[in-house]
Amino acid sequence: MSTEDRRGQNLKDEESREMTVNDSLSVMTKEEVGYGRGGERLTVNLKESNIFEQGDQLSCPGDLAAGDIYTHAFHGYLSTILDPESWTIPKTVWEAKNRGVLFDVGHGQGSFNWTVLEKCAAEGFWPDTISTDLHSGNLQGPAYDLPTVMTKLLHVGMPFVEIIKAVTITPARALGISDKVGVLAPGREADITIVKIEDCDAWLEDSAGQRRRIRKRIVPVAVFKGGKLFETRRPVPWPNVETGKNLATQWRSQVVRDSEEPKF
């Protein structure tokens, strides 16, 4: 395997036996990543390759196993989880979900597309875990914070109880720490966030500058870490117009997108 191929492969410590692979997975074979030789769990991030079978190359999510995580699942680039022609969820994606592959939001700066999420919602395909992939490039939009990403799922109809599971017990189980966190129970760590759903009227952008009008949002009321109460702040107002303008330059690179180019 070349140095370029290895760039996207990060084999973590032997105890966790987890492997994270990015777009270079599209040129890796099953043998090269060592898949199936010791129970490794994969966390896969694909944006520019194709999800369908490619000979002896690792097919994602076709060759993923129960417990593997397919993150950045709702972007609109070439490897969107939707069929790029019909904009429906392919059989291989449904089969992966049914055998226990976990689909994660991983919002980030470029990995969330309203159109993709709405098509998935129409088929009842919800993420198993909701994450922000928060960093300096998306803190002021389009991700903002975890309650905002949760709000996006609420907007398209994901049941609130499933949203809560997707930020608590399911990721805790995926990380192997559900004996410590993820549920309110005796013996667990007292890490608690109290949230509420409140009315609002604001536009909220995705990673391609596409916007939706939001009428309900999830906001934090109180946060406890190890039983200690921490101060909570009001969420950052959205949309961020300047961020939206920059994101809109990515609209034409989406294979699944709104019919009209976003304008700010």
What are the tens digits of pLDDT across the range 51-82? 555 555 566 787 888 999 999 999 999 889 99
pLDDT of residue 26: 45
Alpha-carbon distance of 200 to 154, in angstroms, equals 13
Confirm whether 38 is domain-assigned: no
pLDDT at 170 over 60: yes
pLDDT of residue 47: 64
Number of CB atoms found within 10 A of residue 199's CB: 8
Most confident of 12-16, 24-28, 48-52, 237-241: 237-241
Confirm whether 144 is domain-assigned: yes
Confirm whether 123 is domain-assigned: yes
**Overall number of domains in the chain:** 1
pLDDT at 49 over 70: no
Q: Indicate the pLDDT class of residue 5, thresholds 50, 70 and 90.
A: very low
Confirm whether 228 is domain-assigned: yes
pTM, two decimals, is 0.85
Q: Which residue(s) pair with 10 in the sheet?
A: 20
Q: Indicate the pLDDT class of residue 233, thresholds 50, 70 and 90.
A: confident
Tens digits of residue pLDDT in 190-206: 999 999 999 999 999 99
Confirm whether 17 is domain-assigned: no
Range(s) of the domain holding residue 119: 43-253
Q: What CATH number should be reported for the domain holding residue 107?
A: 3.20.20
Alpha-carbon distance of 233 to 221, in angstroms, equals 9
Contacts of 225 (CB under 8 A, 6+ apart): 190, 191
Confirm whether 150 is domain-assigned: yes
pLDDT of residue 95: 94
Confirm whether 25 is domain-assigned: no
Alpha-carbon distance of 78 to 56, in angstroms, equals 20
Confirm whether 29 is domain-assigned: no
